[in-house]
Amino acid sequence: MTELAPHASSWYAATAHPAPERPPLDGDATCDVCVIGAGFTGLSTALHLAKKGRKVIVIEANRVGWGASGRNGGQLHSGQRRDQETLESWFGETRAHALFALAEEAKRTVKDLILTHAIDCDWRDGLIHAVHKKAWLHAACAEAEHLIARYGYEGATFLDAAGIARAIGTDVYFGGWRDATAGHLHPLNFALGLADAAEEAGARICEGTRATAISSDGGGHRTVTTATGTISASDVVIAANGYLDGLDPEIDARVMPIRNFVLATEPLGARASRLIPFREAVADSRFVVHYWRISADGRMLFGGGETYGTRDPKDVAGFVRRHMLKIYPDLADVKIDHAWGGTLAVTMNRMPFFRRLRPGVYTASGYSGHGVAIATFAGKLLAEAIEGDTSRFDVMASIPARAFPGGRRLRQPTLVLAMTWFALRDRLG
Ligand SMILES: Cc1cc2nc3c(=O)[nH]c(=O)nc-3n(C[C@H](O)[C@H](O)[C@H](O)COP(=O)(O)OP(=O)(O)OC[C@H]3O[C@@H](n4cnc5c(N)ncnc54)[C@H](O)[C@@H]3O)c2cc1C
């Protein structure tokens, strides 16, 4: 068998449950739905379709969970990526409410999948939003108040400066709020659990199998080409997110890959409980967000810093550690055991890109750092749409998505300029 690309050398890979090697596609095959990519989007699509009795083949260029789904911060957020007041101003109250209801269901879907399929992925309740600028505290709390007053949201508790310092073991934040219904998990083990569940439901997963082209015969059939065979399917789902690499020009124009980085310290022992006594995840209010949590074995898992070019920092551990020490200077003596990067995908308006691109070809991607809930849920909506009920898929697909300016060649420098400006604003405080 050809050798499969290893997972990024992360704490997640080091603590992943054993997984079988799933052989690459070997010859031509036929199915109802061919899914390209085995991250949360693709695996959840396969699981939901297979449960409905559809014959599904997932092809993954590398390994199950190899992309962002196996490398991320593991934070499951409430709501959509943009706050409700923004969504109301863009789309009006009715659509904003519909989007919030879908996001709430996304969060429940992740928790239900964990329970239903007994996925062992260190799930823990609780996520704290920490505000890094005094002037922003009012707006951050108003956002939570808005959820409570207008959306009947019950999970939010406010934290003043002293309260947040007790909750997260640092006094660099001005306050924030605790979200009791959000939380965190081990993302690679969640992805591996989804893959097992999809296979149990009847889906076939081929690792080491890259789609190189998708064509239509004009009569109800699509052909996906790979180096080791073709797949003929009624429907195709492109679930390649930040790793799309030009496979589809329409997605490519609207969904831009960016790199983000995470470290894992050595286990902190009793110190871990002094830092975050109730072990919530934490995300701050920076544009280039800092996010962290204590792992099940007591390490600090800290994410921060992103790059917009093609090259990673030479010293990823040092790059992320600098961000961590601004918040936890006392961790200067702690060894960094793992540091890694991953590619996520952003859109112009930071809302995901769900589309039926052409007959029989669907996609969901561009979750803009909010994919643990929404990518997993996308699989459910894609399955519904392919089964013929497009009503909820269409709520997401009706979100406008502008192409990044500059086309394929110039959009990267344009994005670098824009993002660098926002990152600079973070630094200027
Ligand atoms: C460092 C980092 C931290 C993050 N933190 C968070 C967080 O805390 N909370 C949150 O909600 N979100 C977070 N995200 C975002 C989240 O991880 C993603 O939105 C989500 O995992 C997207 O899932 P996906 O299945 O769409 O894509 P991916 O998991 O990236 O999967 C795409 C897969 O497609 C495969 N593929 C690509 N092209 C082909 C092809 N041609 N043929 C076959 N296979 C192909 C790739 O190998 C890859 O495995 C983070 C992302 C990163 C990188």
Query: How does pLDDT run across 212-241, given as a tens digit for each residue?
Result: 999 998 778 999 999 999 999 999 999 999
- The residue whose CA has the least distance to atom 10 of ligand 1 is 370
**Residue showing tokens 């969504």:** 87
Query: How does pLDDT run across 350-376, given as a tens digit for each residue?
Result: 999 999 999 999 999 999 999 999 999
- Whole-number Å distance, alpha carbon 241 to ligand 1 midpoint, is 6
What is the token pair recorded at 351?
């809302």
Alpha helices (H) in 240-390, listed in sequence order: 249-254, 270-275, 316-327, 371-386
CB 363 within 8 A of CB 235: no
Average pLDDT over residues 407-429: 61
Ligand 1 site, residue 190, Cβ cutoff 6 A = no
Ligand 1 site, residue 46, Cβ cutoff 6 A = no
- Whole-number Å distance, alpha carbon 344 to ligand 1 midpoint, is 6
Site to substitute for ligand 1 among 9, 48, 247, 367, most atoms within 8 A of C-beta = 367
15: buried, middle or exposed (CB in 10 Å: 19+, 13-18, 0-12)?
middle
The neighbouring-strand residues paired with 281 are 127
CATH C-level class of 128-181+257-345 = alpha beta
- Whole-number Å distance, alpha carbon 7 to ligand 1 midpoint, is 13
Neighbours of 259 (CB within 10 A): 19
> What pLDDT score was predicted for residue 344?
93
Ligand 1 site, residue 38, Cβ cutoff 6 A = yes
- How far apart, in whole angstroms, are the C-alpha atoms of residue 136 and residue 142? 10
Average pLDDT over residues 40-56: 98
264 confidence band (pLDDT: 50, 70, 90): very high
Nearest alpha carbon to residue 233 among 36, 81, 409: 36
Cβ neighbours of residue 184 under 8 Å, at least 6 residues apart? 73, 74, 75, 76, 122, 123, 124, 127, 280, 281, 293
What is the token pair recorded at 223?
């052909």
Query: How does pLDDT run across 106-148, given as a tens digit for each residue?
Result: 999 999 999 999 999 999 999 999 999 998 898 888 888 999 9
Site to substitute for ligand 1 among 110, 228, 344, most atoms within 8 A of C-beta = 344
Query: How does pLDDT run across 313-356, given as a tens digit for each residue?
Result: 999 999 999 999 999 999 999 999 999 999 999 999 999 999 99
Which residue ranges make up each domain of the chain?
A: 11-71+188-249+349-417, 128-181+257-345
Nearest alpha carbon to residue 42 among 365, 273, 407, 301: 365
Query: How does pLDDT run across 194-215, given as a tens digit for each residue?
Result: 999 999 999 999 999 999 999 9
Cβ neighbours of residue 142 under 8 Å, at least 6 residues apart? none
> What pLDDT score was predicted for residue 220?
84
Give the CATH H-level superfamily of domain 11-71+188-249+349-417. Answer: FAD/NAD(P)-binding domain (3.50.50.60)
Ligand 1 site, residue 247, Cβ cutoff 6 A = yes
CB 20 within 8 A of CB 78: no
385 confidence band (pLDDT: 50, 70, 90): very high
The neighbouring-strand residues paired with 213 are 225
Alpha helices (H) in 58-133, listed in sequence order: 84-91, 93-116
pLDDT above 70: residue 427: no
pLDDT above 90: residue 58: yes
Average pLDDT over residues 160-182: 96
Query: How does pLDDT run across 11-46, given as a tens digit for each residue?
Result: 999 999 999 999 999 999 999 999 999 999 999 999
Ligand 1 site, residue 67, Cβ cutoff 6 A = yes
Radius of gyration for the chain, computed over Cα atoms and rounded to the nearest angstrom: 21
The neighbouring-strand residues paired with 363 are 238, 355
220: left (phi over 0), alpha (psi -120 to 50) or beta: left
> What pLDDT score was predicted for residue 143?
87
On the CB side of 16, CA atoms within 13 Å amount to 25
Ligand 1 site, residue 36, Cβ cutoff 6 A = yes
Query: How does pLDDT run across 281-304, given as a tens digit for each residue?
Result: 999 998 789 999 999 999 999 998
- How far apart, in whole angstroms, are the C-alpha atoms of residue 278 and residue 185? 15
CB 413 within 8 A of CB 404: no
Q: What is the residue-averaged pLDDT of the chain?
A: 93
Query: How does pLDDT run across 399-415, given as a tens digit for each residue?
Result: 999 998 876 666 666 66
Concatenate the DSSP letters of all residues of 313-334 into one string: PS-HHHHHHHHHHHH-GGGGGS
102: buried, middle or exposed (CB in 10 Å: 19+, 13-18, 0-12)?
buried
Residues counted in the chain = 429
